[in-house]
Amino acid sequence: MSDLNGLLMEQLQWIIGGIALLLIILIIVVINQGSKLKKMRKKYDLMMAGSGVENLETLLIDLKVQLDSVEDEQQQQRSTLETIVDKLQHMKGKVGIKRYNAFSERGSDLSFSIAIVDDQRNGVVISAIYNRDSSYVYAKPLEEGQSSYALSPEESEAINLALQK
């Protein structure tokens, strides 16, 4: 045991020097961490200023509730938009018109065929044939661009014009 005491006494200056050096390093780390903590506290106070809440937990809970509300509203808007897009695809919004002279020996381009179709090529084609003595109007339903009634070349052209839009 006395050998150990002798060894410690000989190395005591180095042990005290090492402990002092370790203490200085630890003091520097504590001062560095303190300054970082002070900066973080300033940022926290700046963030919390004017929020009307006392702590970060309450602020985060409020933000989560608001985010859930926004997500619910967004889902409702997405659903509404899908409904609108579906309805738009079935709207008869494509229109093509072809004017022509039904009786080449007299008259002018007063006869016409008008096609009104949707994206699935469903709709109606209406033809009006005009001459001096009388006029006739015909309506033919369309399903997938075709009709169960015979289509004239002008009606087919009106359908093609509508589908190009």
Spans of all domains in the chain: 1-49, 55-89, 94-163
Cβ partners under 8 Å of residue 35, min gap 6: none
Contact 161, 123 (CB under 8 A): no
0.75 cut: is pTM over it? Answer: no
Average pLDDT across the chain, whole number: 88
Q: What is the pLDDT of residues 94-122, one digit of tens each?
A: 899 999 888 776 667 889 999 999 888 89
107, two tokens? 């008259």
**List of residues 6+ apart from 128 with CB closer than 8 A:** 111, 112, 113, 135, 136, 137, 138
Secondary element (H or E) of residue 36 = helix 2-48
User: 45-98: per-residue pLDDT in tens?
Assistant: 887 777 666 777 887 888 899 999 999 999 999 999 999 988 887 777 889 999
